[in-house]
Structure 1
Amino acid sequence: MAGEEERGVVRVRVKKCDGMLPMEFRSFAVDPQITSLEVLQHILIRAFDLNGKRSFGISYLSRDRSGAEMYQSLVSDWDLDVAFVSAAKTYLQLKMDIKPSEDSPVMEDWDIISPKDVIGSEQLLAERTRSLAAAALPFTQSLLSQMGRTLSKVQQALSWSYGEEIKPFKPPLSDAEFHSYLNGQGQLTRPEELRLRIYHGGVEPSLRKVVWRYLLNLYPDGLSGQERMDYMKRKTREYDQLKREWTARVSHEDLEFIRGNVLKDVLRTDRAHPYYAGSEDSPHLTALTDLLTTFAITHPQISYCQGMSDIASPILAVMDNEAHAFICFCGIMKRLEGNFCPDGSLMSIKFQHLKLLLQYSDPEFYSYLVSRGADDLFFCYRWLLLELKREFAFDDALRMLEVTWSSLPPDPPETEVELLGPPLDADETVTYKDKTVETFLRDDKEQKEKQRRRHMLRPSREEADASRNAVIKQKDGQNRPLVVWQQVIHQQSSFARQQISKHRS
């Protein structure tokens, strides 16, 4: 049905509100597949001739559960995607709220007034500062181990002073220190200790290209330095061969469909970062597109789903080599491929784990979510799917990802990383024998609808509930995610205890 198909163009109507001035209106059309929030902001600046001199907020018209109209804030690409999906069939209605200029005497909600300005007491200010520092010090030490620059900005804004700069637990892993974990033949002899070290300080940017291959479990155990080089050369040749076999593995129509879906996401992935900036046919964007296309073709049971570009993007930027990035991507997808399975079973388990952890760690907040009807935690879907990659600035995300990966136990392949996934199951293969034209057209339409839904980032509430129920309920009526969660906690706790014991000794 035309109403169900993905729209190539969305008409937009914008209302500008600027204090007591008369409202202004503009209308235009955009392609939702290539329009990011940054692009939309530039369009609005030009449409209303703001020339970047005035700041503004954007919101879109939607409806709540009762059907009442309300405006929702647009602050990220994710919000914009939701706005496009929920837009009325006629047009998407936006509102621009112009904020006061910097020289305006009107205070913004982020203006900071120190106690000194209000009370005029130096002694009270000193006491409050000392008590605040004493209370925040343990927290900031932990936070700075992963997000030092963020807290530095907060300190500047609030004029906090601790007498000396607080630093992470340890500096990032250096090349010299990394070699201390290798023996004379270049074999990694202390993988658990290496991961613990990275967890406490991250990795120097220049060393990530080497260390990430260990964190993503590329190498089998016991490889020497020369064996690792030979291994990567052989896997690179294997990737090049797989890339040449595109047309032999899928039809031209399927290839165009896959590549079209990949390209839509690639053109919106991390384009603000210098590595992916520039024209749409830049070598780095082409490499990311080819990498994901090859994965979709060689892994037909998973194919390509929206969000995979966000996982591959930082890996390619760090490796700066298409073949090596593909090998790393296959390594991480060994762990994450369940996130993109059509039945949603693994994501349902993750939601259950998150709910259990939230109930245990912050029951008051969980009760609040229940009271607001948000205890399904669907707003965390992207966090779980992409492991928080899109919730941080690109460089901060690199640090966050390597620290997160280092918290997992080593899981090297027995022989080598598999670059070719299993074929489609027999019952998933489309056959045309003994089918009437009407049956074929109906099946083809259903197949295309399945493919379209496979490339949606967020499942519908009905799909999520169905998949969740399928996972939670067993024949004996027990809650399976609880059992799995207990096993995972036990395994990770055992690993953590071992590392702490080694670290102390």
Structure 2
Amino acid sequence: MGNACLCLQDTFRRSSGEDLGKYYPTRPECEEDVPKSRFKHWVGRTLSERRWKAAFTEDGHLDIVGVLRRIQRGGIHPSIKAAAWEFLLGCYDPDSTYDERNELRKQRREKYAELKAECKKMVPIFGTGKFITTPIVNNDGEPVEGEAGNLNGSMPDTAGVTDKEVIQWKLSLSQIGLDVVRTDRTLVFYESEANQARLWEVLAVYSWMDNKIGYVQGMNDICSPMVILLEDDADAFWCYEHAMRRLRENFRTNASSMGVQTQLGTLSQIMKVVDPQLHQHLENLDGGEYLFAFRMLMVLFRREFSFLDSLYLWEVMWAMEYNPNMFKCYEKSEEPTAEKVDTEMLKKCGKFERKNVETGSEEDRKGALAVYLVASFLESKNKKLLQEAKGLDDVVQIMGDMTGNVDAKRALNKALRIHKKYIKAKKS
């Protein structure tokens, strides 16, 4: 009986053997140059389409606790990633019904259409399946000479919009275009100019709507998966917009700094506590500001993993960071605040966020899981960094060698252990 149970358990946990790469095919000539995916659909662990459908009540309420548990164990099957991501990012409240979500989706699509119409009035190329890679105005807002200058339209009717804001937005359009043609170019999806134009439009409309941040290189890497996963551009836009509510401060810039430096400062504090020897070694190499980790945090490890594995990493991180109150905060455009510890609310939190809520310390809650993930990368290279890194170039080389060679699940588990160790050390 015992052996039979063990055999049954092995069957229950086996990989499905499905080729998940078929959902995001790589161009044949690029296959040797991209990291191989380690993500597999584990039966009984990965959130499957069948399990996803079963998680809804008849009128549409979602069992978010069961869904989070599955995602944290084995990610999401590609066939349902789009739908599940919208919940993970707070686009929809799990307690809402099908009818309520359909109405909200309709309103959001109408709003996106309005924003896109504003953009099209200023730059008529919107909606044509084409996009811009060369400047259409100069720094004074005057149309450039030649064909590109003819792409300008009229000023928007939007109240409160200044000429300076319009000029700044128009200046960003060519940079967005240049970044678009470099985005995930190993994927078959972006062989299509129409799909590249979709990505360009979503990024351009967002930079118009959120002109305080505008467009910054790296946003294309965050937005691309949403455009690939969601067929409707409006849905992709709002999924990206909700992701940016978490990440936009990373892209806030001024004359002397970028927002991601706040997270680098948190990383420095964490490493000083959990691995003082390695932290001191990096300090001695003038790497104590951890600028070598800048890109990892800015684009959420898109360069360290294959496309499929980076999606798995994101969804597991979002599941671990999930807090049911974030939906209410998002709809009110408020910053999440420390919550009174409530047993029912804690059950609906991801395992990382649950620990944060239980500590109740604002200082300890500042570090996003991504910061602890970088710390786990550093810990995994502890000996190599201590023995071989004689300068910052060596640190960059050692960390760069991790590309395509990291097991996302193990790294996340290590990040959780570092988080626990850091909080415990801070309390003692």
Cα 1:381–1:169 change in 2 (3 A) is farther
Distance in structure 2 (CA, Å) of the matches to 1:352 and 1:196:
31
**Bigger relative CO (Cα 8 Å, ≥ 6 apart):** 2
Alpha-carbon spacing, 1:192–1:359, altered in 2? closer, same or farther (3 Å): farther
**1:356 to partner: Cα distance:** 2.2
Verify the 8 A CA contact 2:39 2:308 in the aligned structure 1.
no
What are the Cα deviations for residues 128-180 of structure 1, in whole angstroms up to 9, with x where unaligned? Answer: xxxxxxxxxxxxxxxxxx9457xxxxxxxxxxxxxxxxx96953201221233
Alpha-carbon separation, structure 2, partners of 1:258 and 1:418: 29
1:345 to 1:406, Cα distance in 2 relative to 1, 3 A: same
Provide the TM-score with structure 1 as the length reference: 0.48
- How does 1:120-159 map onto structure 2 within 5 Å? 147-148=38-39
Equivalent residues of 1:327, 1:417 under 8 A apart: no
Q: CA deviation at 1:255?
A: 4.5
Which residue is 2:55 aligned to? 181
Is 2:110 the partner of 1:196? no
Among candidates 237, 242, 264, match of residue 178 of structure 2: 264
Residue number in structure 1 paired with 2:195:
284
CA distance in 2, matches of 1:231, 1:396: 31
Rounded Cα–Cα distance in structure 1 between residues aligned with 2:194 and 2:113: 16
Deviation at 1:295?
A: 0.6
Per-residue CA deviations over 1:206-230 (Å, capped at 9, x if unaligned) read 0011101001110135321132122
Which segment drifts farther, 386-395 or 250-259? 250-259
Q: Does 1:216 align with 2:216?
A: no
Q: 2:238 aligns to what? A: 327
Q: Is the 8 A contact 1:330 1:417 kept in 2?
A: no
Confirm whether residue 381 of structure 1 aligns to residue 294 of structure 2: yes
- The unaligned stretches of length 5 or more in structure 2 are 1-28, 123-155, 334-360, 373-415, 421-428
Question: In the alignment, is residue 367 of structure 1 matched against residue 280 of structure 2?
Answer: yes
Q: Which runs of 5+ in 1 are unaligned?
A: 1-41, 43-51, 56-74, 77-145, 150-166, 420-482, 498-505
Is the alpha carbon distance of 1:183 and 1:335 closer, same or farther for their aligned partners in structure 2, counting shifts above 3 Å? same
> Are positions 1:275 and 2:189 aligned together?
yes
Question: What CA distance in whole angstroms lies between the structure 1 residues aligned with 2:213 and 2:76?
Answer: 31
Contact 2:230/2:236 (<8 A) preserved = yes
Gap change, CA 1:408 and 1:192, over 3 Å in 2: farther
Decide whether aligned partners of structure 1 residues 334 and 490 sit closer, same or farther in structure 2, where only a CA change above 3 A counts: closer
* DSSP-derived class of the 1:320 partner: coil
What is the aligned length? 271
User: Which residue number in structure 2 is paired with residue 397 of structure 1?
Assistant: 310
Verify the 8 A CA contact 1:170 1:200 in the aligned structure 2: no
CA distance in 1, matches of 2:59, 2:309: 34
CA offset digits 1:313-350 (Å, max 9, x no partner): 01111113211110101111111111111244742321
* Residue identity opposite 2:45 in structure 1: P
Within 5 Å, give how 1:37-48 maps onto structure 2.
none
Match 1:297 to one of 179, 195, 208: 208
Work out whether residues 172 and 203 of structure 1, in 8 Å CA contact, stay in contact via their aligned partners in 2: yes
Normalising by structure 2, what TM-score?
Answer: 0.57
List per-residue Cα deviations over 1:378-430 (Å, max 9, x = no partner): 010011111212221111111111111111123443397589xxxxxxxxxxx
Q: Structure 1 residues 378, 322: CA separation in 2 closer, same or farther (over 3 Å shift)?
A: same
Q: How does 1:21-36 map to 2 (within 5 A)?
A: none
Provide the C-alpha distance between the structure 1 equivalents of 2:188 and 2:206, rounded to a whole number of angstroms: 25
CA distance in 2 between counterparts of 1:489 and 1:293 reads 30
Distance (Å, rounded) in 2 between the aligned partners of 1:169 and 1:360: 39
Structure 1 residues 358, 416: CA separation in 2 closer, same or farther (over 3 Å shift)?
closer
Aligned to 1:234: 107
CA deviation after TM superposition for structure 1 residue 303, in Å: 0.8
Greater fraction of residues in strand: 1
**Aligned-partner residue type, residue 267 of structure 1:** V
Amino acid at match of 1:185: D
User: Aligned equivalents of 1:311 and 1:490: distance in 2?
Assistant: 17
Give the letter for the 1:271 counterpart: R
Structure 2 distance, partners of 1:490, 1:312, is 20
CA distance in 1, matches of 2:201, 2:116: 8
Code of the residue aligned with 2:246 in structure 1: it is: R
> 1:168 and 1:392 mapped to 2: Cα distance?
19
Residue 312 of structure 1 deviates from its aligned partner by 0.1
Identical residues among aligned pairs (%)? 24
| Gap change, CA 1:416 and 1:365, over 3 Å in 2 | closer
CA contact (8 A) 2:90 2:330 kept: no
Corresponding residue for residue 267 of structure 2: 354
**Counterpart Cα distance in 2 of 1:257 and 1:341:** 18
Q: Secondary structure at the match of 1:486?
A: coil
Q: Which amino acid aligns with 1:286?
A: A
2:216 pairs with 1:342: no
